[in-house]
Amino acid sequence: MTKPRIPLVFLAALGASGALLLSACGSGTTPTASNTPSSDTSASTSDTSPAPTASSSESSSDSPPATGQPVNNGLCKAGDVTLSLGQGDAGAGSVYRPILIKNSSSKACTIQGFPGVSYVAGDDGHQVGDAAFREGTKGDAIKLQPGQSAAADVQFAQAANFDPAVCKPTSVKGLRVYLPQETASKFLPDPGTGCAGGKLPGFQLAVKTVRRA
């Protein structure tokens, strides 16, 4: 029995189809291989990119200022001023006189508040009686240029106003004065009589806040 012959045209078509199939499979693997290194390269570039400049500026603005520099708060110190007693008035058993505080330095300084005032006596300058009572409220800060002055009004009660047994009258050489917020004192000569007794029915000295003279 004779076997049927396959037409040559069909065999040619079959061979062409196989070639196309092999070509398609080969082209499918090529994009997959080329995409893998491209993705890895992108990730590496992202990880090594520099930090944003905005973060750098924020970090620098939050940094604390440099320390170790001397700070000058500008307060008038004992060595910056000279003291004197101004003219005053008398009345009701007291004398009222201002302590004049002159800036005798070469730089401006600021003064505010109540000076500390007390009588002193003897060669050792010991305090006599209580320090001056602070009368009124704290005033505004006063900036004194070189040569300018501030004043603090002081009430001096006469020792004769008090019972001698309570007052214990004592000769004084003057006043010890502390500028506001200062620990060094100045001596202001003003001979007179103070009360050494500590239980007076009033104040032998009273001082008001500094004001511009």
Residue 23: per-residue pLDDT = 40
Residue 33: per-residue pLDDT = 39
Residue type, 205: L
Residue 5: per-residue pLDDT = 52
Helix (H, G, I), strand (E, B) or coil at 167: helix
Residue with tokens 């905005």: 54
Residue 73: per-residue pLDDT = 65
Alpha carbon 131 to its chain's center: 31
Q: Which residues of the chain have pLDDT under 70?
A: 1-73
Q: Which stretches of 55-199 are assigned E, i.e. beta strand?
A: 81-85, 89-91, 94-103, 109-111, 116-121, 126-128, 133-135, 142-144, 149-157, 169-178, 185-195
